[in-house]
Structure 1
Amino acid sequence: MSRRISVAIDGPAGAGKSSISKVVAKKLGYLYIDTGAMYRGITWALLETGVSIDDAEAVSQALPHIQLELQATESGLVVLVNGRDVSQEIRTQYVTSHVSQVAAQKAVRTKLVEMQRDMASAGGVILDGRDIGSVVLPNAELKIYLTASVETRGHRRWLELKDSENISLEEVCRTVAERDMMDMNRKESPLVCVDDAVVIETDHLSIEETVQTLIDLIRKAELGGCHG
């Protein structure tokens, strides 16, 4: 008997976690929870209201006034902050360059981890982020670590941004490398590859190949197959 499971997908910035997870979830009829969009939403709200993101106390006091919602629509995920659709604003390089700083704040992580666990409690979910397998869903039936080189990830991110922002490939690669350092070395829930995760390196895999790899792993885990 197969069952609907919880899937934790971790990995560094630009590894393709969100785009891959969305496709896999749609194909399997799973709920996709974009935890990165949640952190971006909080980051956008703090920057928009002028809160100093270096001030842990100020951030903590601002959080109760930020209402965050994710809505799945036919055209994709909609991120609402206090009722406003900020799905586009949260993807700018400005927000990207500050999100690791905000995500490192304990109060922010506490608020969002609680939301994520609540959303995942029914099973049949795919969550992606940096601490899903280690902190948010340590008992997930399947844990995947999706990664690629800084050069590959930087190039992918640059392709997403180049038509809307005047930014060089070198600058994007530098931002990706800096974010890796921040995410791996932060005090609260650093980016780690847990021992029981399946590591998938996507440098030489197409989106379709990566999607199929994940689907095969999920189908096996649904049947209770081993996945260490």
Structure 2
Amino acid sequence: MRSLVVAVDGPSGSGKSSTSRGVAARLGLAYLDTGAMFRAITWWMLRQGVDVHDPAAVAARVHEPVIRSGTDPLGPTIAVDDVDVAVGIRSDEVNAAVSPVSAVPEVRALLLDLQREIIARSLATGGIVVEGRDIGSVVAPDAAVKVYLSADPQARALRRAAEAGGDVTATQESLLARDRIDSGRATAPLVMADGAVHIDTTPYTLDEVVSQVVALVEAVEAEA
């Protein structure tokens, strides 16, 4: 398989992470969770006492932390200043703060450069599956395969509650609120990129969704 980028976008709870890791593992590609990078910045801001609802305060310190993302789909890692934050970035505190931090243009610009560096390195060794909310539209608009995953709000809430615990109704309300923020922000909003294939994951198992995306990649490879 030649080097290529597979861009996987969609809202929280749509199955992006599990699908992307599964596709990368099955095809022998690298994997990048861009959402974890935004969460890592948010975790650092909270630890430093920065007001995450003050864009200027966030922008003023965004270049201080060093973010490192591992790209092994079987064991992805995320570290801030060499501290493993894989667990910490999934806390309720980070969940509540990641949207305002992600909306700050300086944060997006910094991570965009880092994401493109990682993609470039991966292309030199075989390719990468990248997941997020603006991969096909902003980060890698020339990706060979673009996929937009969605799911019924209740299905998304059930999945997320099963992963992290918590009340399903409250989780659904939180997810929908995140959707409104992500879709309405001025910089790199959540959209379905031009040329993306839309997959509603609600009626499918994870393996079935992974197989659908793998089939899309193989179809592109066959035409190359």
Q: In which range does the TM-score fall when normalised by the shorter chain?
A: over 0.9
Q: 5 Å matches for 1:158-169?
A: 158-162=161-165, 167-169=166-168
Q: Which amino acid aligns with 2:144?
A: E
Q: 5 Å matches for 1:117-132?
A: 117-121=116-120, 122-123=122-123, 124-132=127-135
Q: Deviations over 1:7-32 (max 9, x none)?
A: 11110111110111011101111010
Q: 1:59 maps to which residue? A: 58
User: Are 1:25 and 2:28 an aligned pair?
Assistant: no
Whole-angstrom CA distance in 1 between matches of 2:215 and 2:79: 33
For the 8 Å contact 2:30–2:73, the answer to whether it is kept is no
- Bigger mean CA deviation after superposition, 195-204 or 120-129: 120-129
Q: Compared with structure 1, are the counterparts of its residues 49 and 80 closer, same or farther at alpha carbon in structure 2 (3 Å cutoff)?
A: same
Whole-angstrom CA distance in 2 between matches of 1:31 and 1:64: 26
- Bigger mean CA deviation after superposition, 212-221 or 57-66: 57-66
Q: 2:108 maps to which residue? A: 109
Whole-angstrom CA distance in 2 between matches of 1:154 and 1:97: 16
Q: Deviations over 1:23-44 (max 9, x none)?
A: 1101111010110110110111
Q: 2:144 maps to which residue? A: 141
Q: Which amino acid aligns with 2:75?
A: G
Count of paired positions: 220
Q: 5 Å matches for 1:186-205?
A: 186-205=185-204
Q: Compared with structure 1, are the counterparts of its residues 74 and 23 closer, same or farther at alpha carbon in structure 2 (3 Å cutoff)?
A: closer
Q: 1:68 maps to which residue? A: 67
Q: Which amino acid aligns with 2:51?
A: S
Deviation at 1:222, TM superposition (A): 2.0
1:77 counterpart SS class = coil
Q: 2:210 maps to which residue? A: 211
For the 8 Å contact 1:3–1:223, the answer to whether it is kept is no
For the 8 Å contact 2:21–2:74, the answer to whether it is kept is no
Q: 1:34 maps to which residue? A: 33
Whole-angstrom CA distance in 1 between matches of 2:154 and 2:213: 23
- Bigger mean CA deviation after superposition, 194-203 or 70-79: 70-79
RMSD (Å) for aligned C-alpha atoms: 1.4
Deviation at 1:61, TM superposition (A): 1.9
1:87 counterpart SS class = coil
Q: 1:10 maps to which residue? A: 9
**Structure 2 regions of 5+ residues with no counterpart?**
none
Q: Deviations over 1:116-157 (max 9, x none)?
A: 111112421111111101110111111100110111111100
Q: Deviations over 1:153-192 (max 9, x none)?
A: 1110000112xxxx31111111001001001101111000
Deviation at 1:195, TM superposition (A): 2.8
Whole-angstrom CA distance in 2 between matches of 1:196 and 1:111: 26
Q: Compared with structure 1, are the counterparts of its residues 25 and 199 closer, same or farther at alpha carbon in structure 2 (3 Å cutoff)?
A: same
Q: Which amino acid aligns with 2:99?
A: S
Q: Which amino acid aligns with 1:99?
A: V
Q: 1:91 maps to which residue? A: 90
Whole-angstrom CA distance in 2 between matches of 1:80 and 1:60: 20
Q: Compared with structure 1, are the counterparts of its residues 101 and 26 closer, same or farther at alpha carbon in structure 2 (3 Å cutoff)?
A: same
Q: Which amino acid aligns with 1:103?
A: S
User: Are 1:157 and 2:160 an aligned pair?
Assistant: yes
Whole-angstrom CA distance in 1 between matches of 2:31 and 2:100: 24
For the 8 Å contact 1:144–1:197, the answer to whether it is kept is yes
Whole-angstrom CA distance in 2 between matches of 1:56 and 1:13: 23
